[in-house]
Amino acid sequence: MKSLLTLVTLALTALMLEEKARQVAGDAHEAYGEVAAQAREARKTLVQQVEQQPLISMLVAGGIAYALASVIPARG
């Protein structure tokens, strides 16, 4: 009788863990969708800014490239 009670307890625990795993997976899927939407919106905004102010965008990109080139050591 005790082993049957243990098996039932394990089965219920497994079911509870499975349900929790499904909830976590659903939450992760929802969060991924939100992040993907935010990334698309950020890209759209960036493209609009570059199209509206191409010279400033080139200067900013050049500044970032210069900063990275001074931080990253040269090979060889």
Q: Is there a domain that residue 76 lies in?
A: no
- CA pair distance 34, 27, nearest whole angstrom: 11
Q: Are 57 and 50 in contact (CB under 8 A)?
A: yes
pLDDT at 56: 95
- CA pair distance 16, 19, nearest whole angstrom: 5
| Mean pLDDT, all residues of the chain | 94
Q: What percent of the chain has pLDDT over 90?
A: 87
Overall domain count for the chain: 1
Domain that holds residue 8: 2-71
- CA pair distance 28, 24, nearest whole angstrom: 6
Using pLDDT thresholds of 50, 70 and 90, give the confidence band for residue 2.
Answer: confident
Phi-psi region of 62 (alpha: psi -120 to 50; beta: other; left: phi over 0): alpha
Q: Is there a domain that residue 63 lies in?
A: yes
Q: Is there a domain that residue 51 lies in?
A: yes
